[in-house]
Amino acid sequence: MARILNIGSLNLDYVYAVPHFVAPGETLCAASRQVFAGGKGLNQTVAAARAGAKVYHAGAVGPDGDMLLKLLEEAGADTSAVEWAGVPTGHAIIQVSPQGENAIIILGGANRSISREALDRALDIAEEGDILLLQNEINGLDYIIPQAARRGLRILFNPAPMDESVKNLPLGLIDTLVVNEGEGQALAGDMEALKAAYPKQNILLTQGSRGATLFAGGETVFQPAFRVKVLDTTAAGDCFLGYYAAALSEGLPYGRALLLATAASALAVQKQGAAPSIPCRAEVEAFAQANSR
pLDDT tens digits along 93-103: 888 888 878 88
Cα–Cα distance, 114 to 102 (Å, whole number): 29
For residue 293, pLDDT over 80 is answered with no
End-to-end CA distance of the chain: 28
How many angstroms from the chain centroid is the CA of residue 127?
22
pLDDT, residue 276, reads 87
Contact between residue 19 and residue 214 where contact means Cβ atoms under 8 Å apart: no
Question: What size, in residues, is the chain?
Answer: 293
Residue 210 lies in a domain: yes
Report yes or no on 20 lying in a domain.
no
CATH of the domain at 278: 3.40.1190.20
Q: By three-state DSSP, how is residue 205 classified?
A: strand
Q: CA 66 to CA 77: how far, in whole Å? A: 14
Residue 15, helix vs strand vs coil? strand
Q: Is residue 80 part of a domain?
A: yes
- The predicted structure's pLDDT at residue 23: 93
Does 129 reside within a domain? yes
For 73-77, 188-192, 207-211, which range has the lowest pLDDT when averaged over its residues?
Answer: 188-192
The per-residue pLDDT of the chain, averaged, comes to 94
| pLDDT tier at 189, thresholds 50, 70, 90 | confident
- How confident is the model at residue 200, as a pLDDT? 94
Residue 198 is assigned to a structural domain of this protein? yes
Residue 234: per-residue pLDDT: 81
| Residue 103 CB neighbour total at 10 angstroms | 14
The total number of structural domains in the chain stands at 1
Comparing CA positions, the residue from 90, 93, 113, 86 lying closest to residue 39 is 90
19 found inside a domain: no
In a domain, 47, yes or no: yes
Residue 270 domain flag: yes
Q: How many Å apart are CA 161 and CA 136, to the nearest integer?
A: 6
What is the rounded CA–CA span in Å between residue 224 and residue 122?
A: 36
Mean pLDDT of 9-34: 93
How does pLDDT run across 273-290, given as a tens digit for each residue?
788 899 999 999 999 999
Q: Are the C-beta atoms of residues 114 and 103 closer than 8 Å to each other? A: no
Can you give the pLDDT at residue 273?
Answer: 78
Omega of the bond prior to 224 within 30 degrees of 0, cis?
no
* Residues whose CB is less than 8 angstroms from the CB of residue 253 and which lie 6 or more positions away in sequence, other chains included: none
Domain carrying residue 204: 4-10+38-90+111-291
The catalytic residues are 238
**Strand, helix or coil at 59?**
strand
* Angle subtended by helix axes 236-249 and 40-50, to nearest 10: 50
pLDDT score recorded for residue 176: 98
Separation CA 122–CA 115 (nearest Å): 11
Model confidence over 136-186: pLDDT tens digits? 999 999 999 999 999 999 999 999 999 999 999 999 999 999 999 999 999
Q: What is the pLDDT of residue 77?
A: 98
pLDDT value at 250 more than 70: yes
